[in-house]
């Protein structure tokens, strides 16, 4: 699976996990197993704000573009992200939301 990113400034953060042809984004499951070789699922057909482009199956691999939320202090690696090749199941290693961790002020 090849995951590309489209950075976007927003307050909500994202967590993504992969299991085969299935992505879990903030707990919501998206199963792309039925997508045949050479097929494209347009972004308009996916009911989620987290997809920023179509999903394509090319050479047996899924090619996906996800929105990558970031904070006001996002580092360059987040503002100009490189694609991630996920040839394993598990958490997708996302670039950091901010350059410095956001402190939770609810404990004060």
Cβ contacts of 32 within 8 Å, gap of 6 or more = 21, 22, 23, 41, 55, 57, 62, 64
Average pLDDT of the residues of the chain = 91
Band (103; pLDDT cuts 50, 70, 90): low
Span 51-99, pLDDT tens digits: 999 999 999 999 999 999 999 999 999 999 999 999 999 999 999 999 8
Give the pTM. Answer: 0.85
Say how far apart CA 20 and CA 53 lie, in whole Å. 20
Say how far apart CA 52 and CA 87 lie, in whole Å. 21
């Amino acid at each position: 699976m090849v995951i590309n990113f489209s950075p976007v400034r927003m307050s909500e953060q994202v967590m993504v996990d992969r299991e085969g042809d299935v992505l879990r984004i903030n707990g919501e499951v998206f199963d792309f197993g039925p997508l045949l070789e050479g097929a494209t699922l347009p972004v308009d057909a996916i009911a989620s704000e987290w997809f920023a482009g179509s999903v394509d199956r090319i050479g047996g691999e899924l090619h996906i573009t996800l929105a990558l939320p970031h904070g006001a202090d996002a580092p360059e690696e987040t503002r100009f992200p490189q694609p991630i090749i996920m040839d394993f199941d598990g958490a997708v290693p996302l670039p950091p939301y901010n350059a410095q961790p956001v402190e939770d002020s609810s404990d004060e």
